[in-house]
Structure formats: C-alpha cells, structure tokens
Amino acid sequence: MKSKIYLVLSNALMVLLLSSCYQDGPDYYSDLDVVYTNYMDTYKFSDKKTYYMRDKILVDIDVNKNGDTTHVYMKDVYSKPILAEVTAKMKEYGWTPVAANASPNVVIIPAGLSSTTVYYSSYYYYGYYYYYYPSYYVASYTAGTLLLTMIDPTSSNIVGKSPAIWIGAVNGVLTYDYDMSRITRGIDKAFQTSPYLKVN
Amino acid sequence: MRKYIYTGLFFALCTFQTINAQDSEGSTALNFKGYTSLSYSIGVPVGNLYNYISTSSFRGATLGYSRFVSPSVSLGLNVSWNVFYQEVPDGTYTYGTASLSGKQYRYSNNAPIIFNANYFFMPNEKLNPYAGLGIGTIYTLRNTDMNLYTLEQEVWNFALQPEIGVNYEIHPRTALTFAVKYYHGFQSGDIKDNQTYLGINLGFTFFHR
C-alpha cells in the first residue's frame, strides 16, 4: 500500500514540475523596444557645429494613378515631442540648429516606418463520435521604427548622393496608447550610445 | 488539463512494475534486479553556460532505469531535462561601429541522455551511498530573444557525467534519493562553449524484480 502512495506522490510531483516548465518572457510592449545606432568611423564629427532638421517627420509616400507623389507626414501631436527631444539632445551635445539655407554642417532627416505582420494557424479536433470543422486563429501586430539619418550635405559620392554619417533607429511594437515616453527614451538611448556626436 | 493527465499516465506507466509490490520485502538492493528513479532536478550553471545564463534552473526532472549486474553495481540509462532562463536587463551590444540596445531573454533547454554505471557502497543498509560515472550526450537548444527576433542554436554535445548520491530506504521497495550530478558537455556545432552544469536531484527510487 505504501509503495502505491509513493508512486502516486512521485507522479503528482512530476506532473506539477512539468506543468511549471512554461517559459517566461516579456510582460510589456516596452520590453521589446530596441535602439540601433551606427556611424561612419572616418568622419570627424568634432569639426562640425551646426545642423538643420525639418519640423515634420515623413511616414509615407502616396503615388496616385498619374504617378504623382504626395508626402504623408506624422501628425503634429506625435511629431512635435519627438523633434523636441532630438533638438534637446543635439543642444546637449553642443550642436546649433540653423536654417536650411544657412549652410548647415549636417542635416538630420527624421522618418517613421511601420510594418504589420499577420499570422494565422488552424487546428482540427474531433470528438469521439464526430469531427469538428477546423478552427482558425488570426492575429497581427505592427512594429514601428523612428529613423534618424544624419548626412553631410557638402560631401557626396560618385553618383552625387550624400552618404549617411550616422543612423539612429528606435524600434518597437506599436500600441494605440499615447505613450511618447517609449520613443523619447529610445532617442535618449540612441544619443547615449553615440558619444562621438559630442562636439562640445 | 489533458496534458497533465497524459503526463501523469506516462510516468505511471514507467513505474507500473512496482504497483504489485508486497509491503514486506527484503530491505536491500540484493533482492532486486533493477530500479526506476524519478527526481526533481535543480540545475546550477557553471563555466561557459554560467557566462550565458547565470541563474539556476528550478525547472527540471530526471527519469532513470537501471539493472543490477552485481549486488553493488548497476548499469542504466538516465534522461533529464533542465530549463535555464534569464531576463537580461537593458544593455548595449557593440560590434564595430554598430550598437544595439535593449532587453534580452535567454533560454537554454538542456536534455542529457546518459548511460551510467553506479557503485553502491552499503547495499545491505537503509542508508546506501553510491557513486557513478556516465557517458552520453546532451541536447542543447539555446534561444536568445531580443525585440521580435530570436537567435536559435541547437547542438548535441558529447558528455560525461560523474555523480554521487545516497538512497535512504523508506519502504522495502522504495527509497528516497538525493544525488548531485556534474554534466560536462563538450563544445560542438553552433555553440562554441562547453555546456556544463550541476544537477541537484531529489526524488524516489523504486526497486523491482
């Protein structure tokens, strides 16, 4: 009788153990946020002081049936805090904003990108006497990226394009909450990991 | 719910030979042909595995089956599973001029399959310490998650596993078992590091004819 009790106890123990073997992971959308930066190591940032950055953030380009393009910009309620944060960090790093026609040393081009991933799965199951129709599960998520590209308008390559001297990208899963803190934290992190941008 | 039922049935089948045991038997392993063991396993990473995941694993189990070739020596097979997990706080990873900052979620599933030989020092006693050595392989599945992406690495390592333990008889055919195993998986494939960790096992051993 005792051996049966031990057998039951050990089986219960193993069931409990294996049932606890679920994997942990991220709990919040912000846990998936990442910041990427890269720069041209041959470029001397310390020789520069002025920059120009437009007051709008490009998010899309519409092309109509005639081939005409229309730029789509981010709404001001979102773009203004973003641009204000970038301006503040540039000032902290010793840069001075100037107008586009004032021959800035560098130009910052902000842009917003998004991509939506849709995934689905289907499964079949059946009862003892009959078969159920398959069930489908569909879900999607949208990831967004704030891209900051810094170029030197005075330099160009053989095809006349100015190469990027610095790129900062903030990426994360988009939500419908008005939570600008994730973006501003990402901008701060992008500058924090780019100490070579300091000119003061 | 079904998976819990199926899991319980699986382990019940593994030990079904003990169901028909009588309560009064000889108290030593001398009377039995073999044994089945079930243990809860704690994994403590060491070496290069510790560099990847420094936290211990409290999700693990070991199942074993052995036959006595003499009153003091048994040969058998042990299969284990330990899941290591660690949430690495926001950090910056730099490669050349590129930097990537964010949280990482690291997972390491380690499943040793070990053929082992154990020597029991006091087979006539209730408290029966033993030592053993095993040889086999460790299947390792390692996932590093960052943002919406995962880096998955999968290898089979050749492994050696020394072990010490003790059985304490709580019933003529059942013993409480405590064992410490050292798994050493040699580097292989995508993972350029040895997979080494300590397994601390506590469970039951069921002797059978």
Chain segment B109-119, per-residue pLDDT in tens: 999 999 999 99
Is A34 within 8 Å of B102 when comparing Cβ atoms?
A: yes
Spell out which residues of chain B touch residue A24, defining contact as CB-CB under 8 Å.
Answer: 85, 87, 105
B168 near A CB under 8 A: no
Instruction: Supply the mean pLDDT for chain A.
Output: 84
Among B8, B101, B147, whose Cβ lies nearest the Cβ of A11?
Answer: B8
State the first-to-last Cα distance of chain B, in angstroms, to the nearest integer: 34
Distance in angstroms (rounded) separating the CA atoms of residues B94 and B98: 6
Q: Span A122-130, mean pLDDT?
A: 58
Flag whether residue B107 sits within 8 Å of chain A, measured between CB atoms. yes
> What 3-state class would DSSP assign to A20?
coil
Are B49 and B182 in contact by the 8 Å Cβ rule? The answer is no
Whole-number pLDDT of residue A12 = 63
Strand-pair partners of A38: A167
Mean pLDDT of B46-63: 94
Region A171-184: what's the mean pLDDT?
80
Question: Smallest Cβ distance to B11: which of A14, A21, A24?
Answer: A14
B59 touches chain A (CB under 8 A): yes
Residues in B touching A34 (Cβ below 8 Å): 100-102, 146-147
**DSSP SS3 for A138:** strand
What integer is the mean pLDDT of B95-105? 95
Residue B65 CA neighbour count, 13 Å, CB half: 9
- Tell me which chain A residue has its CA closest to the CA of residue B84: A23
Q: Cβ separation of A35 and B107 shorter than 8 Å?
A: no
What integer pLDDT is reported at residue A23 of this predicted model? 63
Q: Provide the pLDDT confidence category of residue A173 given band limits of 50, 70 and 90.
A: confident
> What is the model's pLDDT at position A24?
79
Buried b (16+ CB within 10 A) or exposed e, A13-46: bbbebbeeeeeeebeeebbbbbbbbbbbeebebe
Confidence of residue A133 (pLDDT cuts 50, 70, 90): low
Which helix (H) or strand (E) segment holds residue B8: the answer is helix B2-14
| Residue with the larger pLDDT of the pair B194 and A22 | B194
pLDDT in the model for residue A126: 55
pLDDT band of B27, cuts 50, 70, 90: very low
In chain A, which residues have their Cβ closer than 8 Å to the Cβ of B100? Answer: 34-36
